[in-house]
Structure 1
Amino acid sequence: MKKVLIITYYWPPAGGPGVQRWLKFVKYLHDFDVDPVLYVPENPHYPIQDSSFLNEVPEGLKIYRYPIKEPYGLPGLLFPKKTNRISSGIIQTKNQTILEKSMLWIRGNFFIPDARKSWVRPSVNFLSDILDKENINTIITTGPPHSVHLIGNRLKQRHDLTWLADFRDPWTSIGYHQKLRLTKASQRKHEELERMVLQNADKIIVTSPTTKKEFEQLTDKPIAVITNGYDSDYEGGANVDSQFTISHIGSLLTGRNPKNLWKAISDIARENEVFRTDLRLEFIGVVAQDVLDTMYRFELGPYVKIKGYVSHAEALRRQQRAQLLLLLEIDSRETQGIIPGKLFEYMAARRPILAVGPKKWDAGAIIEETDTGKVFDYASGDELKEVILSWFKAFKEGTLHVVSKDIEKYSRRALTKQLVNHL
């Protein structure tokens, strides 16, 4: 059985989508004769925690841990909400205080590539012994945080091994990167580190075709697209709501704010009394203030229900109960390659997906390919309204459902097989 060392920052009890990708890969690797060994921080700062993920860690999994020094300690004590937002990538661009601007500038220019950079050097020294002890010659690093890839780069320099760099998100092309108030020198440093990782890794894994195209301009190393996915036991089964519930699961961050959607729903509610009576807009997770303000301007306040963060198991139940599942992305070129992890669980829930995002959106292509919903851009108008009305009519008639196709290739087990083939 082949041993592989997986180096990751996010691991249970971390919550959110970042932890799930490798937790699920680890779950199925043994089925393909691969023995995973984990390396994670001993005392990480996780802005979101979900202890239910601890139940999914395979029994007997060997995990090595080493302490990490993070810069969020003192700011976290003094300004916990602002610190948690910044450490989790939630960056408000409007009405920033001097404190927020200062924290962003320090984060962007003093901690390159990110605030976990101090973990690199001690990890390399610690893992050099582990590689010999465990007789491991293949390592996988997964980012963000992209400083984890620097651990892989240094280990590659010291040892004769194969290194796979997994990018759950892009590096310099991701939307929030432009909000870090970087100096020109800091931007160049990020770009240099990105090229170094892409050129020195033996193989690269990305989660979207767009990211693959971007990276192909920077390296000639083999790049595989392995998306996120769903666990096969997630498929359907819950009783759907009696109301016309349109649900968004997960953080709804600044900029994911399609005014055309809110206007379409508002217009229908104003014109149709039955729709107005049945409508419910449910948000599971953090909702940015600019999104709420826009919905309130369109007089949708009476229909909005915000539940806050829930466990992953509860999120799955909410997905299966919703009449429609809402998938939103910022309207920009930088977000065309963003495929939210929840998309695949939406697909497995077998409820219609209402998606609004940028043109040429990779996530939109998957929805259309699998017949799991409808995709619109930020300029859509009458067609968006007509689809919502048609789905509401089907809801009233008891016929609102999805007949999807070929979603099995996005199961976590099938994706793990792809990963092993790439190994």
Structure 2
Amino acid sequence: MASNVEKRKLKKILVISYNFPPEGGPAVQRVAKFCKYLRRNGLEVFVLTATKRAKITDPSLLENLENIKVSKTRDIGVLFRGDLKKVLRSYFPPDTAALWRLTAVKKGIRLVERENIDLIFSTSPPHSSHIVAEKIAKKTGIPWVVDFRDEWSNNPSFYKYASQLQHKLLEKRVLKSCSHIIAVTEKGQNNFEELAGTNNVSLIRNGFDQEDFLHLDAENGTVKKNKITFAYAGRLNELHNPVPFFSALNLAINQGNIDTEKFCVEIIGSVENRKWLNDFPRLDGIVNFIRYQPHPEMLKRLAAADALLLFATGMNNTEFFPAKVFEYFKLNKYILAILSQPGELWQVMDDYGKSYLARESIIEEIREKFVELYEECKSNKRVKPADDSFVNQFSREAQAKKLFHIMERSMGNSK
């Protein structure tokens, strides 16, 4: 089969992604931008995704995807609720999207055969997208590139998974069956190389889309406001834990480090984010929660802030880069980053040159960095522009070109 594929030129790809616009949130940004720019690279892009009710919708993410052909199949697993959903995950690994394969595989095979697809690209989580892709690739014999936005068995949350052995076996099967593996961190790249026993692994970090920033006023956020504003965008959870920051902010207030009448924090995202403030009544009115915003509106709010917040917490055996960090870089803002420990993310943040870095376990260190940045913002100095060569390496357009070349090299490497 490989010898036949070698003679084919890459023209058509099938993208398998459980989540896709108009669904909103972080799970769709990377794949949507890949589709946009791969199409501009001349590929005909077909997408296979799931029909389901999205918690968040963001129609703005459909812009520039008009020429992408999207097919959907039903995930019957969404009919499971509550405890039944937990049972589904326990008995049908790897995740609650496991039953999507019952409809997606057949549809995918038909698409490949009818449209003469040259290559499959699948992205996770959920990792069920790779299981669907594996079965389609095995049946059709075409190359298959896998993209891990988060790691699998080396994910910081893996300790919570039931049937860990089954997960590891599924992961190894995927890694051994695919033509090429893509990770979003150097640590992830190294982990996958070790697990797969191959160096056929590439690094493509998350990034920003230059065109998303064209509507922003270059001077936005530089005008003196009544309040110094620190902003955060995204969900809050164990890996994006605001408690160390809230604790440090509480301490700074108690020590009289800031004028609470002239300072506020905006947290943009799910309404569920508000529960993280329950143990900090003193911060009510200082920390404000804003419900999920369409991507363009979210960027406007971040651009209007004096500084941005980044939480990357709870890391143990790997590192996780919050996808928003690259849009933070493009916005040319000061960043207060609270991280688990010095490492890969710490180094990238330091290379940016306008980051104030602190470890999540040392509240006094967070307070000191916060007060230092607060005073910097209060001085109203103009922010020095970021180094273009550093920022532009995270352009979605450049990353899609790298992916395109990986796909071209993968032709003839089906298994």
Q: Which whole-Å CA distance do the structure 1 matches of 2:156 and 2:341 have between them? A: 16
Matches within 5 A, 1:27-106: 27-41=36-50, 43-54=51-62, 56-70=63-77, 72-73=78-79, 75=81, 102=83, 105-106=86-87
Q: Which whole-Å CA distance do the structure 1 matches of 2:241 and 2:19 have between them? A: 28
Q: Which whole-Å CA distance do the structure 2 matches of 1:372 and 1:150 have between them? A: 41
Q: Which whole-Å CA distance do the structure 2 matches of 1:260 and 1:115 have between them? A: 31
Consecutive unaligned residues of structure 1, counting only runs of 5 or more, are 76-82, 84-101
1:264 maps to 248
1:291 aligns with 2:298: no
1:321 maps to 304
Q: Which whole-Å CA distance do the structure 2 matches of 1:113 and 1:383 have between them? A: 39
Amino acid at match of 1:118: L
Q: Which whole-Å CA distance do the structure 2 matches of 1:157 and 1:326 have between them? A: 44
Matches within 5 A, 1:79-158: 102=83, 105-158=86-139
Assess if the C-alpha contact under 8 Å between 2:277 and 2:283 holds in 1. no
Report the CA distance between 1:283 and its aligned residue. Answer: 1.0
1:342 aligns with 2:351: no
Q: Which whole-Å CA distance do the structure 2 matches of 1:19 and 1:207 have between them? A: 15
CA displacement, residues 115-167 of structure 1 (integer Å, 9 cap, x when unaligned): 22222243222222221221212110111111111122112222221110111
1:415 aligns with 2:399: yes
Report the CA distance between 1:391 and its aligned residue. Answer: 2.5
Greater relative contact order (Cα 8 A, min sep 6): structure 1 or 2?
A: 2
1:252 aligns with 2:236: yes
Q: Which whole-Å CA distance do the structure 1 matches of 2:17 and 2:229 have between them? A: 36
1:8 maps to 17
Assess if the C-alpha contact under 8 Å between 1:5 and 1:140 holds in 2. yes
Report the CA distance between 1:73 and its aligned residue. Answer: 2.9
Three-state SS of the structure 2 residue aligned to 1:139 is strand
Q: Which whole-Å CA distance do the structure 1 matches of 2:165 and 2:384 have between them? A: 47
Report the CA distance between 1:12 and its aligned residue. Answer: 1.2
2:209 maps to 231
% same residue: 26
Length-normalised TM-score, structure 2: 0.86
Over 3 Å counting, the alpha-carbon distance change for 1:273 and 1:128 in structure 2 is: closer
Over 3 Å counting, the alpha-carbon distance change for 1:393 and 1:288 in structure 2 is: closer
Three-state SS of the structure 2 residue aligned to 1:326 is strand
Report the CA distance between 1:234 and its aligned residue. Answer: 4.0
CA displacement, residues 11-58 of structure 1 (integer Å, 9 cap, x when unaligned): 1121101111111111111332322221122x223222222223x142
Amino acid at match of 1:44: K
Q: Which whole-Å CA distance do the structure 1 matches of 2:354 and 2:44 have between them? A: 35
2:386 maps to 404
Three-state SS of the structure 2 residue aligned to 1:112 is coil
Report the CA distance between 1:66 and its aligned residue. Answer: 2.4
1:355 aligns with 2:332: no
1:305 maps to 288
Matches within 5 A, 1:178-257: 178-180=159-161, 182=162, 186-221=163-198, 222-235=200-213, 237=217, 238-239=220-221, 241-254=225-238, 256-257=240-241
Q: Which whole-Å CA distance do the structure 2 matches of 1:162 and 1:132 have between them? A: 14
Q: Which whole-Å CA distance do the structure 2 matches of 1:337 and 1:321 have between them? A: 29
> 364-373 or 318-327: which moved more?
364-373
Amino acid at match of 2:302: Q
Length-normalised TM-score, structure 1: 0.84
Q: Which whole-Å CA distance do the structure 1 matches of 2:330 and 2:149 have between them? A: 21
Assess if the C-alpha contact under 8 Å between 1:391 and 1:400 holds in 2. no
Amino acid at match of 1:66: T
2:259 maps to 275
Q: Which whole-Å CA distance do the structure 2 matches of 1:170 and 1:388 have between them? A: 31
Q: 2:157 aligns with which of 171, 176, 181?
A: 176
Q: 1:378 aligns with which of 360, 373, 382?
A: 360
Q: Which whole-Å CA distance do the structure 2 matches of 1:18 and 1:257 have between them? A: 19
Consecutive unaligned residues of structure 2, counting only runs of 5 or more, are 1-9, 408-415
Consecutive aligned runs of 4 or more in structure 1 exceeding 6 Å deviation = none
Three-state SS of the structure 2 residue aligned to 1:359 is coil
Assess if the C-alpha contact under 8 Å between 1:25 and 1:412 holds in 2. yes
Amino acid at match of 2:280: M
Report the CA distance between 1:213 and its aligned residue. Answer: 1.6
Over 3 Å counting, the alpha-carbon distance change for 1:361 and 1:293 in structure 2 is: farther
